[in-house]
Structure 1
Amino acid sequence: MSKKTAVVVCPGRGTYNKAELGYLGRHFPDAGMLAAFDRQRDAAGQDTLSALDGAERFSMATHTRGDNASGLIFAATLGDFLSIDREDIEVVAVTGNSMGWYSALACAGALAPEEGFRVANTMGTLMQAALIGGQLVHPFLGDDWRPDPARKTGLLGVVAEIDARPDHTLALSIDLGGMLVLAGDEAGLKAFEGAVEPVDGRFPMRLGNHAAFHTHLQAPVAEQGRAALPADLFGQPALPLIDGRGAVWWPHATDNQALWDYTLGHQVTESYDFTRAIAVAAREFAPDLFIVTGPGTTLGGAVAQSLVLADWRGMGDKAGFKARQEAEPLLVSMGMAEQRGLATGQ
């Protein structure tokens, strides 16, 4: 029987929550690698991943901080990637959402595991120390996921109008399937909250312990990252990498300096187009599966919505996606116990 092909999708911040406590203990496949990550944390005077993951109870104040969450999420993602059954599944490309780009770099081999952890942990720590601005999320798709470009354009018009006001900063941080993740200063975020109709009693929703990622407000953090993380950490990827612009970094054809520059430049200070990354992954690689690694289960919806927005394989709405998924699973979320075995073969 021939192998199934898969694009692996790495989640970003906000995916290690109460339900994920103990995830590394349950799933991380390489004790020696986890110990190496712990040594880095210990040398920096930080709680080890083993201690954080093995805590008796989940603490929002502790576990969602950038200097802790980034390391936990990176390790959970890489552990899941290493657990994919390569006898039955051929990984043809890797992408990620936001800080999931750092995880994708390691999964694809452009960063060695310990160097990838160094990048993710360093950037998470720098962002937490600065904590410039904040983020909120707001949907533009309805419950049926039917594409609504006019609604999206209207909301982005509100964002632009607010950003143009004196002493207000607001921008699109992440284009995330049917959601817009917006980032800015307090004045900009508050103005948006007051300008739009609430949705489902939940949105617009502030994201706790999140800074104004993927905006020019992060320029000082990007500069600190470039000073702390030399370009020689980066090498040729072994697998194609799809970045937050939808650009593909190919094995044997990647400019390592340019990859470093993108990762600690554009990727930090400009909008991250996850929707486009998934569309490119679908069209360029036409995989049998999209495997979303853990931790968490929230990114699967954004992947599915991105495929609908790309009109991939004729899936024009939520019902179309569900029918395709039920006939033959297209999307596998490793953070869901009932789906994990489809990726690990166990």
Structure 2
Amino acid sequence: MSAGRLLSVLLLLQSRGRVSARAIADELNVSVRTAYRDLARLQSSGFPVYAEPGRGGGYRLLDGYRTRLTGMSEGEARALFFAGLPGPAADLGLAADVTAARLKLLAALPTGLREEASRVASVFHLDAPGWYRDPEQPPHLPLFVDAVLTRRAVDVRYRRWRAPQEVDRRLRPYGLVLKSGTWYAVAATERGTATYRVAQVLDAVLSDDRFDRPVDFDLGAYWASYLEDFHARRYTGTATIRLSPQGRRRLPDNVPPEVVRAVDSTAVPIGDRGWVEAVIPTEGTEHARGELLRLGGDVEVVAPPELRQAMAVTVETLARAYELP
């Protein structure tokens, strides 16, 4: 039986007052039967745990009893920064440490502050992944957590989008970033500092090679610079389009925010039907065609000619497929 889990049960009783066995089981990710066994073990060890039968009952500590066993382990102290982020904490393998750290913090608070902290925690929830896709579950993420914290290099087999698609790399991870439900490793290589999508790591082995992270390296500043550079490389052209009022309303649900902002800043009214003409950034003809076709008849491409032609060819193909005149 885990002594750490018994302590968590004790702190849970101390921080919440009356708690059911089911609530204990859910909080600690164990079965209800295990929760009952843990409670019985605490009682047999001399802790003043008693049951309140009936509807709304549960288990509680004798009034006035408080334990001083609230010291945090190293893992729990690390996990403290993820106390409000249960999803990312679970991804990183820190779920148990986060639960224990949260319970110890609550147990150390005065009653009034403890109730307020619990109330606030109950009305906020973070769901990091974006809509319309399942969150990634990279199998090698815990290994990268270990590498970041112990400053050890990782030998990986990595799948990338350009040829050769599979490459071998030795990475020295400086940090991990969660972006819209996707984990990225920022790591030093022989080619310099780069960003790697952890889910694209096909195989990974923690090496004995240790490294020193540069004292002036700022993960947040690096990521901001990386995003700025990414967007600069992403949009290599522009297009002039016309949008109906309905098309403009549908825009945020069908194109990236950069395109929406471009429309808002460059839109010029044309005609008397509420249509506007605007200039938007594009990643290329094929990509722009795919995005703009989502708007159907509420968009018209004016320029460049190759994008207008690509749209026309697609519309003609669809007309033939549906046997329209």
TM-score, normalised to structure 1's length? 0.22
TM-score, normalised to structure 2's length? 0.23
The structure having more radius of gyration, on CA atoms, is: 2
